[in-house]
Amino acid sequence: MTDCIFCEIAAGRIPTDKVYEDDRVLAFRDINPKAAVHLLVIPRQHVASLDELDGSHDELIAHLVRVLPRLARDQGLETGYRTIINTGAGGGQEVFHLHAHLMGGSDLPGF
Ligand code: AMP
């Protein structure tokens, strides 16, 4: 066990509603959805936030970002979608394992 809930999800030790995974990233439904479709996309590797990134993460982050439109298509979000990465307490980050929110469909809140 680690004290990072998303590392535990990535390791399969905490169940989640998984919609996609590969060797580098994992996508699952947010437990408290703010829109009809609300996914979280995380790297398997623990990276606390955008603030932790350096050049060694470039391929991983490029891959994570490239997965987002593919997931949006798979979820039927043909007219568009919103992506959010909260960073730090002041940015509203609650889970300190880097994640992109992918949201769309009905109920998408105003921004
Ligand atoms: P953030 O505020 O950007 O750190 O977002 C963290 C998100 O993780 C929130 O939207 C939570 O609802 C979501 N979350 C926390 N625990 C879980 C979990 N076990 N499974 C799925 N989503 C979770």
The span from the CA of 57 to the CA of 68, in Å, is: 17
The pair of structure tokens assigned to 45 is: 């590797």
Q: Which residues are catalytic?
A: 99
How much is the pLDDT for 84?
A: 97
Distance CA 18, CA 15 (A): 8
Record the pTM.
0.97
CA of 30 to the centre of ligand 1 (A): 6
Cα–Cα distance between 53 and 33 in angstroms, integer? 27
Question: What integer pLDDT is reported at residue 110 of this predicted model?
Answer: 84
CB atoms within 10 A of CB 32: 6
Closest ligand 1 atom to the C-alpha of 99? Answer: 3
Contact 83, 102 (CB under 8 A): yes
80-84: long-range contacts (C-beta < 8 A, 24 or more apart)? 80/104, 81/37, 82/35, 82/108, 82/111
Ranges of the chain whose pLDDT falls below 70: 1
> What distance in angstroms lies between residue 95's CA and the mean position of ligand 1's atoms?
7
What is the C-alpha separation between 105 and 111, in angstroms, rounded? 14
Domain 5-104: top CATH class: alpha beta
